[in-house]
Structure 1
Amino acid sequence: MAVQEAVRSSEELRKQGNELYKRGKFEDAVPVYKRAAESAPTDAAPVSNLAAAYFELGQYDVCMAACKTASELLAPQSGSTDAVALAKLQKLLIREAKAALNTAQLDRAERVLLALPASEDTAAMEKCVGQLRKAQAGDAKGVLSKLILELPRCKPMIRNVPEYFHFGHDTPESLYGVNDEVLRTERKKISFLFGGIGDARNLHRTMDGKCFHFTVVDHKPAAIARDILVLLMLDEISKNASVHALEDNQMIAIICLYYTYLAPIMPDWVYHMLQTYIAKAMSALESPAEFPTFLDVPQLYRAGVSSILREWQSEVQEEYPTKRVRLEAIRQRLRDRTQRTLRTGKLGLEAPKDCEKQEAFYRATGVLFMEFGGKPMHGTQLNAAYSEFDEKSPDTFNAELLEGLDTAWRTNVTLVDLEWQRNREGWDGSPETAASHMDINVLHNPFEFAMKLAEERTGMSEGEGMFHRMLNWFHSVARAMKQLQGRYKIEVCVGDVNSVLEQVRYGVVGHRSDQQNAKTTGVGGQPALAAPSDLHTEELSEYPLAYDRIHLSNIPDYVGGSLSSFLYALPVTYTGDFSYITSCCLRNPPLFRTPRHFTNEYVGLSDSSDLAKLFHAKMEPLQFPEDAPLVMSEYIQWHRCDSSTNFADLISRPELEAWLYRLFLKLAIPKERKSRDFVLIYSPLNLTAYVRLCNHLHDIGYPAHWIGSVLSSILSGTITCKARPPRSDPLDILEVQNEARREAIEQCTAPFVAELSTLLSMWQQAGALPFGILSTALPDIELVHKYSVTFDAIPDLVAETPSFVLLLFDAELLPPGSNSIRKFLLSDEKADLSSRGKAIRERGLHVISTWDWHRGSKTATFWLRRDVLESVISGHRWGPAIWRTDNWTIQGMPQRMEDVRDLGVWLQD
């Protein structure tokens, strides 16, 4: 009787547990199943239920233990002809094998698989075991380093020379305040990273306090070269503590800095002083000991910086003579003034109140005048001309004097990057087009900088003129450098800031020492933060493994918005309310009413609790109304918070899957847009962002089988979900919210399987996806090859947005002259549902978003599984071509598949 009661009690408890399980309350189901198992200790059913609940919770070790116990209880029954018991046992063994794969316990997975009959499931698991074994046996750190350093994060541009931004527009702001809590951290060293350093105004403003490490990043060697020159001049100024007792060489350095930092042209003697600093910098690049001890210019970047400095020694002055630059400055200031008037109906303040005449003189002549203590500091003729200058009649200025200045003055060569100038749209290399298309950008207003200084209340005195204001500014920076002597390091990096951030996270920064690299990676790929040191010299010898604050300017506008910030910057930021990343939107702020709308466009989510659960991101409350005009043009701070990874504090599995499908469709099939627009939203990220996101989710505790099942579904070629490729631009919050009310439909992912499966194999080999992806579509790493194809002609027009993909396509099904192909990639209500459209989707093309473009040789380089390439290379109808993902049209005529060159196995090239 007692036994029967126990059985009934166990069955009742199992029913309760099953109800909780069906509702996704796995944590609540576990204790109920445990009680059921205790009531009927010889019954395998409640233990089997318990194993299932543990599996759903991602607690794979205890799941395997429960599977083993349940299997032992079932074994006597399954040994007979009891088909039901045998099926239950096989189900348990499959679950145990999957749990073993999700924790990379391969020996255990193999032992379990040996007890199972052959099936589609076991074939996928056996293949997964083999792939994970290869990853474990290989050099995972080396493969990860190769991935990070070699594969691009964004789709390429065809005209892919980055623009040179030599002058910023920010108000110079420090990344910390006098009483900032970050200064009271236990760490002896405070670390900052400035992405898109530009003219370094925010770096200069931040230099004050205890022991500091500054990492400054820019994708242009020219920006770094210019900042090095400025730092050398500031170092010279810093040798005297008083602005009232400057020695001659320090005053000369300030005058040189004044013109180098602000002006398009400069007096001849200042130009020669600038050349002295250029020669000094070039010499220091050859001999590291010649650099000031605070300046770390890694060997990796020296050749690129030296190349720019060589151009500035003579070539730039010859190509951009003084008169040409001076006239361009006048023209661009006039254009800027006119456009501002048309936009606002008024001019607005263009100079501080004591600099109006100097600003009008600059606007009329292109000459930045200099006076100190009320006395002009130029030759007699120019001083007299300035004294007689009438702001109301600027056209009456002495033209002959200007012709003399064009001979006696020189171009500020640091404003010119010849690589950028020679690759601008419309230039074909001829002198004729050079004259009309290669004028440098001197649109900036030097006096705007003085107004920015006044906004920051930096102690700039009024009534002294522009030079005195700048002298005080430069000297305040130099004084901070003197006070910090021996307590700060400036590390410069040339390249994409997201690349640098990811290298820091995983300890593969090329120029940092092996000893430092060994300390960088902790549990789950997160930075293993070093213990603080009491010695400044020891502190400065250590590169930071995480940053207190990261300043990204408006770089996210161009590299994936919030998603790239959350994937790259936030993981290398210290947790807590006093550390943060900060950025603004300057490319298209009118399109985003609030930060929620901005985040929704790039992440496909806008709820703050979701962002905390998925990215451990928390936004600092705004200091201004959320719906203020152009709110996104203001700097917004994101903190990395210590969010719980307890199961109850994760978003649910259905929510995660819905979001992952939504984001995949958004990345793979961006909304159709104009190819050129003043406020164009970029969709630059390639599919490596999706793989990185899956790695991130696994690192922060989301169960491996949740992520793996989504990836397996995509790799199958068909997904069933309520998400659709985006239909609004920017992605509307209501579109995301209304998704739940849509019908779930089957959607074809076949065009993206070849690339995604290739990338997943590469990341798995790097140990960055150390769990089972149960798909026979995942290739062995030896199948991943590197390829190249050279195109006969690819137009450069409208080619400066990262919106290009490489397509391998069946020209019979999809003729190259087709209009927008997006309808063929869609499977929803907006798709081409004809038999031809279906054939194109399912077997007519492979989209490759991860590739490099070598503009000079017109060569595309890409990574792909060999079996896919060989399956189409024999078909004469197939060919590779470059298409756009903004208006989804072809950019140039295709090549033949026979033109594709196999560069060898990726891991051996």
Structure 2
Amino acid sequence: MSGQAAVGGLPSGSQPGGSDVPADDLKAQGNASYREKRFSDAVRAYRAAIDLSPDNAVYRSNLAACYFEMGRYDDCIDESRRVLDLTQQATASQPESGTKLTDLRAKNRLRVAKALYFNGKFNECVAELSPLVASPTATNRDVRDLYSSAIELARHLADGPHVDDHRRLLNRFPRYRPPRITNVYEFYPVGHDEATSAMSGAFSDGTSVGGDDPNGLRLRQSVPPSEDTRSAMWLSKMDAQQLGDLSFFFGGVGDARHVFTTLMDVQRQMKAMTRDGEWPASDHPIWSELRVGVVLNDIAIPVLARNLIILYALWELGAFTIEQAQSLLDAVELAALIHFVYLSVTMPPYLHDRLMTVIDRLMSLTSSPQEVLPFVRMSTECWNEVKETLRFWRADPFVVSTEDMAHSFTPMAAVGDLMSVPDKMNAFVEQHKRTLVDRFEPILSPDMLAKFGTIVEKDSFVKQIAASLAATPGAALAGCIPESTFISLTKGLWPPAVLAEQDHVIGDVIAAMKDHRPGQMKELLENVRQHIYRSWKPNVTLVSREWNEHAGRCMFDHDPITIVANLFNVVWMKSPKNPESLFEWSAHFFATVASSVRQLGTHNCLVYEILPGDMNQAFGMVATESESRRSKGLPVAFDRIFLSNVPDYAGLLPVFIDTAPLLKRTPNSYINCGVMVASCMFHEYGEYACSATAIPSLRDCERYLGVALQSGSLMGFDPRWGHAGGKPLLPYDLDDLATQEDLFEWIVRLVLMIAVPPKRDSGMAVREHYPLNLSYVFRTFERLIAIGYPRHWIASNLTRLLENRVVTDTQPLSCSTNRKNGKPARIAMDCFQMELRALAALWQPVLRLAVKHPLPALADIRRFVLRDVQYIDSPKRSGGCPTASIMGVLFEPPSSSQRSSSSIASRRMFVVEPIARELLTSASSRVHVVSALQFDSDANEFAVWLSRDDLAEMKAHRYTVRLFQTDCWTAVSSPQPVADMVESAPF
């Protein structure tokens, strides 16, 4: 900050009002705070100086500079314009200060222009800069670059799509590296976690109570979790605005167990408002005030189609009472249909006929399911895809036989003859232990064991893990011991008693098992198994056409008894009286859910949106279409967001970048996300989070991205994330965020984490997952700006990346946590520059970054396609999981691509001396790597986004291009000429 004398107004050092501190001293204090980047303190000092000398242009110029550094661009513009007015007035009265006035005016005019640019007012920016550019002495490169960029963006806004439309296009841009096999999604129609209400409070380990839990469940874990009800959501404590906008998002929805439990919780709380404990009367004000919005999201359309079938059956069942669901024939059949669709791989023919009737009814609808389910919302595109799945399930004969379904089913249920309950429980636990030992033994490699301590004996450690896990999630329900044997040996479920009479073979064996006639069991159960193979039908809703064709077979390992036990995991949930079968448990649960669906749907209190596709893209759609969704009565922000374990596949960073913006900024809002796939690879949750985000610690998540871990852990209850600091509105104060240099260090770590993921064993069933491409760096920039980081900070950091002048002690990842070599060194990012430039140009209309580095024109960014990819081997036979996000594109000059086509030393290209890593090479500047691509294994082609000039230069130098996978860093395809790539529109 300048120490010059005041320009205009009172002379420097005047003390109007008898202040004890002279104005110049206050300015000096402000300058010191500014240099130390304590901008809030600097603002207070400058404001105090201005109070003493309101017309001092220098004080106001310093204040404007401070506002600019804080990203308060509107305030900066106001103060700088005031400086321009003051200096103009002073020109006539103080001609001897002409040079100083001119410099001060030019400085503030440029500051106004930059602030206008960062505010997206490009035409005003151009007008402000025009006199500076037209000046004969204009030599400032920053001025010329800013002027050119503002003109281009102004032209783009005039001729191209609106910023919101451009943001929609970017939402469709690939977020992840593609897998080797595309157009196929893992199909998990049945969940494995304990049902939780989205209205619940935080959970912690409960106090041991011994014996059975309050529901009458005979749980292997006799310590039910403890819920902090202070953080729960209570309808009775909500005002009308909250009641009218209650909304929940369920990503990776699976079998919708959390959705159902949430609807039951709403019912429980509504009934608590009445004296008789029943649903409120029709004239109760709650019916006019309450509106519950739930969004069911899954990437697999068959999951959503299956949920729609179950929802339709629940709606029909809701016309009956809970008691009738186990006594009245039509209601029993509906409850049994839900029971078998939800839990069983096979079903009796009469229930299969009922299922086909439901499918036919849904397929007969012309426009949407809303014709029969008035509370359901679904796009036309989604409905058409759902109907395709329904047609597949309606095929007769079906692609999978009943016997094949049974052989594919290996339930985690106890085996053996009828035993006493304690013996049965012990046998159940012991078998579960053996199964877990078999699963963990091949996973725990020596390297992984080393993470748990210096001295770990593998056999004992595996048994310790198995013993711990076997004592937690599963359960044997009261009255279900005989049926568990039936499930294990026949792969079927007991029909309800009133329906079992239709099938004497099934009825006889059920009667014998209930009468404890073990001598007849072996022969009877063998007859039943063959009978089921011959006469029962497959549960078609458990089969995905795409996944079945890819895998070649179905595979199911869920335990129906454990699933139902997990549905009754909530302490407040009532259990059936004296149950004698699994159906009595599930019928009680689903009849209660059905009552919720029917009552809320009938009273127009429920909006049930089915939203397909990638979860993070769905969040982006909700954000960009907020106005349209609001007009349709659809949720645009959520009280609670459940992600299942989708972050295991899509990464944890998107939770902070894509999910958090849609979480309401209320004290009890949270994002619930589990860790299942790689939990055993880390000591604790902070290590997992670091490996997935490059953020050093859990606490640092607050200052970097404004999110905080509220509860949960790696191996315990699901982690729950919320907004940091409880601030109701954005932006955060800059003092609460990371410093500019710390932020840049993290951005470098993030780039390296994404661009140079560590080498992993592609054959391992459990491993770290690094799915993101470099577009997430720019998505992160957008989030950083939204939470309060100054836009010019982001521009400066991006400039440093593009100018390839990064000095850091961060290294590319080689294990589950970030490592530093302790000695700052230059990181060479030559091989990323081509992609970073293209992505920067694509994101420029949204980010509005005044980057001091040449960028391609937005119109020159095109999509280039290579068809007829020449594989070294079939993608299916390349080893590892074919649906893991691992693919990248490598562009090589002739001298590089002449190396062996079966293996690439591509990790050598990323870092230059003095970092001593196996990645070193002196030829890095000639190799280009691209992480953001579209790949279609069926069409045998891939596409990347580059500038025309970059592609033309590679063509001129006879570059080749090929696919490689980033887990084991080996080539997937042979080098092919870049000249073979064809141009297409970018979107």
Counterpart contact for 1:64–1:100, Cα < 8 Å: no
1:277 alignment partner, one of 358, 362, 377: 358
- Are residues 1:64 and 2:80 paired? yes
State the distance in 1 between where 2:181 and 2:31 align.
Answer: 59
| Secondary structure at the counterpart of residue 442 of structure 1 | coil
Quick check: 383-392 or 183-192, which moved more?
383-392
Contact 1:582 1:637 in 2 (8 A): yes
Which residue is 1:596 aligned to?
A: 686
1:867 aligns with 2:949: yes
Task: Select 1:372's aligned residue among 486, 497, 506.
Answer: 497
Q: CA shift at 1:239, angstroms? A: 0.7
Q: Partner of 2:608 in structure 1?
A: 490
- 1:248 CA displacement: 2.7
1:93-140 residue CA offsets vs partner (Å, 9 max, x unmatched) = 654543343233422133333335235333422321123213432332
Where does residue 432 of structure 1 map in the other structure? none
Instruction: Please state whether the residue corresponding to 2:810 is helix, strand or coil.
Output: coil
State the TM-score, normalized to the length of structure 2: 0.78
**Equivalent residue of 1:216, what SS?**
strand
Could you tell me which residue of structure 2 aligns to residue 238 of structure 1? 318
Percent same amino acid among aligned pairs?
A: 22
**More deviation, 331-340/592-601:** 331-340
Alignment of 1:72-83 (within 5 A): none
Query: What does 1:42-61 align with in structure 2 at a 5 Å threshold?
Result: 49-59=62-72, 60-61=76-77
1:108 maps to 2:95: no
Q: Is the 8 A contact 1:110 1:129 kept in 2?
A: no
Q: Describe the shift of the 1:896–1:687 C-alpha distance in structure 2 as closer, same or farther (beyond 3 A).
A: same
Indicate if the aligned counterparts of 2:703 and 2:737 stay in contact, CA closer than 8 A.
yes
1:710-789 equivalent positions in 2, closer than 5 A: 710-729=797-816, 731=817, 735=819, 742-765=822-845, 768-776=846-854, 778-789=855-866
In structure 2, relative to structure 1, the CA distance for the partners of 1:78 and 1:554 (3 Å cut) is: farther
Counterpart amino acid of 2:350? W
Is the CA contact (8 Å cut-off) linking 1:360 and 1:391 kept in structure 2? no
Describe the SS at the equivalent of 1:170.
Answer: coil
- Is the aligned partner of 1:165 residue 2:247? no
1:382 aligns with 2:506: yes
Amino acid across the alignment from 1:872: M
SS at 2:320 equivalent: coil
Report whether the alignment pairs 1:205 with 2:261: yes
Please give the secondary structure, in 2, of the residue aligned with 1:872: helix
Match of 2:210 in 1: none
> Do residues 442 (structure 1) and 556 (structure 2) align?
yes
Asked if structure 1 preserves the Cα contact closer than 8 Å seen for 2:315 and 2:594, the reply is: yes
Matched letter for residue 151 of structure 1? F
Q: Distance in 1 between matches of 2:433 and 2:44?
A: 72
Unpaired runs of at least 5, structure 2: 16-20, 201-228, 268-289, 416-430, 439-461
Contact 1:148 1:502 in 2 (8 A): no
CA distance in 1, matches of 2:936, 2:781: 30
- Which residue number corresponds to residue 212 of structure 2? none
1:151 equivalent in structure 2: 173
Give the alignment partner of residue 335 of structure 2, picking from 254, 262, 267.
254
Match of 1:429 in 2: none
CA RMSD of aligned residues (A): 3.6
Determine the structure 2 residue equivalent to 1:800.
883
CA offsets 1:497-526 (integer angstroms, 9 cap, x no match): 111111111217xxxxxx635x68xxxxxx
- Comparing 221-230 with 32-41, greater Cα deviation is found at 32-41
Question: Kindly tell me: are residues 162 and 33 of structure 1, through their superposed partners in 2, closer, same or farther at Cα, counting changes over 3 Å?
Answer: same
Q: Is the 8 A contact 2:341 2:541 kept in 1?
A: yes
Give CA deviations for 1:54-78 in whole Å, capped at 9, x if unaligned.
4323343146337646976998999
After the TM superposition, which of the residue ranges 121-130 and 41-50 deviates more from structure 2?
Answer: 41-50
Aligned partners of 1:355 and 1:3: how far apart in 2?
92
Instruction: Select which of 296, 308, 318 maps to 1:216.
Output: 296
Compare 597-606 and 846-855 and name the one that shifted more. 597-606
In 1: Cα distance, 2:133 partner to 2:69 partner? 21
User: Aligned pair in 2 of structure 1 residues 170, 265: CA closer, same or farther (>3 Å)?
Assistant: same
Structure 1 pair 3–895 and aligned structure 2 pair: CA distance change class (3 A):
closer
Q: Is the 8 A contact 1:351 1:450 kept in 2?
A: no
Q: Does structure 2 conserve the Cα–Cα contact (< 8 Å) formed by 1:265 and 1:409?
A: yes
1:28 matched to 2:32 = no
1:549 corresponds to 2:640: yes
Q: 1:572 to 1:396 in 2, by over 3 A?
A: same
SS at match of 2:638: coil
State how far apart, in whole Å, the 2-side matches of 1:112 and 1:11 are: 31
AA partner of residue 339 (structure 1): T
- Aligned residue runs from structure 1 range 558-577, under 5 A: 558-561=649-652, 563-577=653-667
Determine helix, strand or coil for the equivalent of 1:569. helix
Give the whole-Å Cα distance in 2 for the aligned partners of 1:330 and 1:47.
75
Q: Alpha-carbon deviation of 1:337?
A: 7.5
Q: How does 1:625-704 map to 2 (within 5 A)?
A: 630-631=715-716, 634-639=718-723, 641-642=726-727, 645-704=732-791
Code of the residue aligned with 1:381 in structure 2: it is V
Tell me the equivalent position of 1:824: 909
**1:454 and 1:688 mapped to 2: Cα distance?**
42
Question: In the alignment, which residue of structure 2 is the partner of 1:838?
Answer: 922
The alpha carbon displacement at 1:153 in A equals: 1.4
Using the TM superposition, give the Cα deviation of residue 892 of structure 1 relative to its aligned residue in structure 2, in angstroms.
2.0
Is residue 620 of structure 2 the alignment partner of residue 502 of structure 1?
yes
SS of match in other structure, 2:896: coil
Letter of the 2:795 counterpart: G
- 1:264–1:742 distance in 2 versus 1, CA, 3 Å: same
- 1:464 paired to 2:580: yes
Cα offset, 1:51, TM superposition: 4.6
Matched, 1:129 2:150: yes
What amino acid maps onto 2:808 in structure 1? C
Asked whether the 8 Å contact 1:620–1:639 carries over to 2, the reply is no
Aligned equivalents of 2:751, 2:937: Cα separation in 1: 29
Residue type at the aligned position of 2:42: A
Do the aligned residues in 1 keep the contact of 2:804 with 2:830 (CA within 8 Å)? yes
* Residues in 1 aligned to 2:569 and 2:60: alpha-carbon distance in whole angstroms: 68
| SS state at 1:470 partner | helix
User: Partner letter of residue 316 of structure 2?
Assistant: E
TM-aligned CA distance change 1:760 to 1:384, over 3 Å:
same
Aligned equivalents of 1:875, 1:288: Cα separation in 2: 57
Return the alpha-carbon distance in structure 1 between the equivalents of residues 598 and 43 of structure 2. 63
Relative to structure 1, is the Cα distance of residues 579 and 75 closer, same or farther in structure 2, using a 3 angstrom cutoff? Answer: same
Instruction: Return the letter of the residue paired with 1:267.
Output: P
Q: 1:144 is paired with a residue of what secondary structure? A: helix
> What SS is found at the alignment partner of 2:776?
helix
Compared with structure 1, are the counterparts of its residues 83 and 716 closer, same or farther at alpha carbon in structure 2 (3 Å cutoff)? farther
The residue number in structure 2 matching 1:529 is: none
Indicate the residue corresponding to 2:531 in structure 1: 404
User: Residue 670 of structure 2 contacts residue 720 of structure 2 at CA under 8 Å; is this kept in 1?
Assistant: no
**Counterpart Cα distance in 2 of 1:10 and 1:260:** 78
Q: 1:361 aligns with which of 474, 483, 486?
A: 486
| Cα gap change, 1:5 to 1:240, in 2 (>3 Å) | closer
Which consecutive residues of structure 1, in runs of 5 or more, have no partner in the other structure? 425-437, 509-514, 521-540
Shift of 1:307: 1.1
Cα distance change of structure 1 residues 114 and 656 upon mapping to structure 2, 3 Å threshold = farther
Counterpart-to-counterpart distance in 1, 2:826 and 2:245: 54
Query: Does the C-alpha gap of structure 1 residues 233 and 62 become closer, same or farther in structure 2, counting only changes over 3 Å?
Result: same
Shift of residue 711 of structure 1? Answer: 0.8
- Partner of 2:250, secondary structure, is strand
Q: Is the 8 A contact 2:34 2:42 kept in 1?
A: yes
| Aligned-partner Cα distance in 2 for 1:380–1:809 | 71
Aligned length: 843
TM-score (ref. length: structure 1): 0.84
User: What amino acid is aligned across from residue 251 of structure 1 in structure 2?
Assistant: V
Structure 2 residue 433 is the aligned partner of structure 1 residue 318: no
Is 1:339 the counterpart of 2:435? The answer is: yes
Distance across 2 between alignment mates of 1:728 and 1:603: 13
Q: Secondary structure at the match of 1:837?
A: coil
